[in-house]
Amino acid sequence: MASDRLSDHPIRLLVSDVDGTLVRKDKSLAEATVDAAHRLIKASLTMTLISARPPSGILPIAKALGLTAPLGAFNGGTLVMPSGDILTARHLSAEASRSAIEIVRASGATTWAFADGNWFATDDTNPHVPHERRAAMVEPIVTEDFEALHGRIDKIVGVSDDVALIAKLQSDAQAALGENAEVSCSQTYYCDITHPLANKGDGIIALCAAIDIPLSETVAIGDMPNDIPMLKRAAVAIAMGQAPAEVKAEADWVSASNDDDGVAKAIDRILLPEVAKHRL
């Protein structure tokens, strides 16, 4: 644990990242995590999720956890109810998505695009396709032609295991797209390009507004650099044990890794005792 600081306000909301945080490396949801979420809800706290995943990839998890509040898909660009009803959706402009796809293609990375509830990919042989199948819970539609999707694209992803390539792609996309898009890495091999407000900083603000709980009563937990904007905004920030140093540096607490039930341990060792303290 990195700090003794906790919120001066009662904790009423937990906002959790999904991949690398809530689920294990194999994308499974541990029974310990489900049980801890149920204890949290029984203590009258609200829990929600925010993820780079599409709605199809977070709705089954929300159901397993028994969540009832709005959820943030595409890094908060889309707010969706556990029923599947879309509250808001922010799409890349047609101009931005055309430029983004050109930049990703020029980089040599595999190109993915998410639109209309579907996942479009330039090939289905990329080694990360099986993982994305489990995360997005949809099958890829193989295509080289994204033209008809422009104006409705939720997220574009450049996919490569070449770390230097992804770093250059992120830099090039940020320079070219500027304020017209958000560019971040949800994994070391994924460069995500979304609407400018589809980022976890603005996403946690939107979720708090939709749920009607202020940031001052909110805990956020995550593991990757794209989680840092929400960790900075939440009253209390928790990093996963396997998170890189730059993420841990923004956290008030560091939990165990995702494969060691880090979210469950954060709930039982940090959140529930804090709730009990405020109720004394």
Q: Which domains does the chain have, with CATH numbers?
A: 13-89+199-278 (3.40.50.1000), 94-194 (3.30.1240.10)
Instruction: Count CB atoms within 10 A of the CB of residue 145.
Output: 8
Output the six-digit token pair for 216.
């001052």
Determine the pLDDT at residue 6.
Answer: 59
CA 96 to chain centre: 21
Q: Order of strands, edge to edge, in the sheet holding 78-80?
A: 71-73, 78-80, 86-89
Q: What is the CA radius of gyration of the chain?
A: 18
Determine the pLDDT at residue 186.
Answer: 86
As a three-state string, the secondary structure of 78-130 is EEECCCCCEEEECCCCHHHHHHHHHHHHHHCCEEEEEECCEEEECCCCCCCHH
Determine the pLDDT at residue 2.
Answer: 40
SS3 of residue 27 by DSSP: coil
DSSP string, 229-260: HHHHHSSEEEE-TTS-HHHHTT-SEE---GGG
β-strand partners of 100 = none
Q: d(Cα 39, Cα 132) in Å, to the nearest integer?
A: 30
Tokens 């599409």 belong to 54
Determine the pLDDT at residue 84.
Answer: 96
- The helix or strand, by DSSP H or E, that contains position 39, with its residue range, turns out to be helix 31-42
Dihedrals φ, ψ of 32, to 5°? -65, -35
Determine the pLDDT at residue 195.
Answer: 97
Dihedrals φ, ψ of 198, to 5°? -90, 70
Mean pLDDT by 10 residues, the chain (280 residues): 57 96 95 97 96 96 97 97 97 98 97 97 94 93 97 98 96 97 92 96 98 97 95 97 97 96 96 79
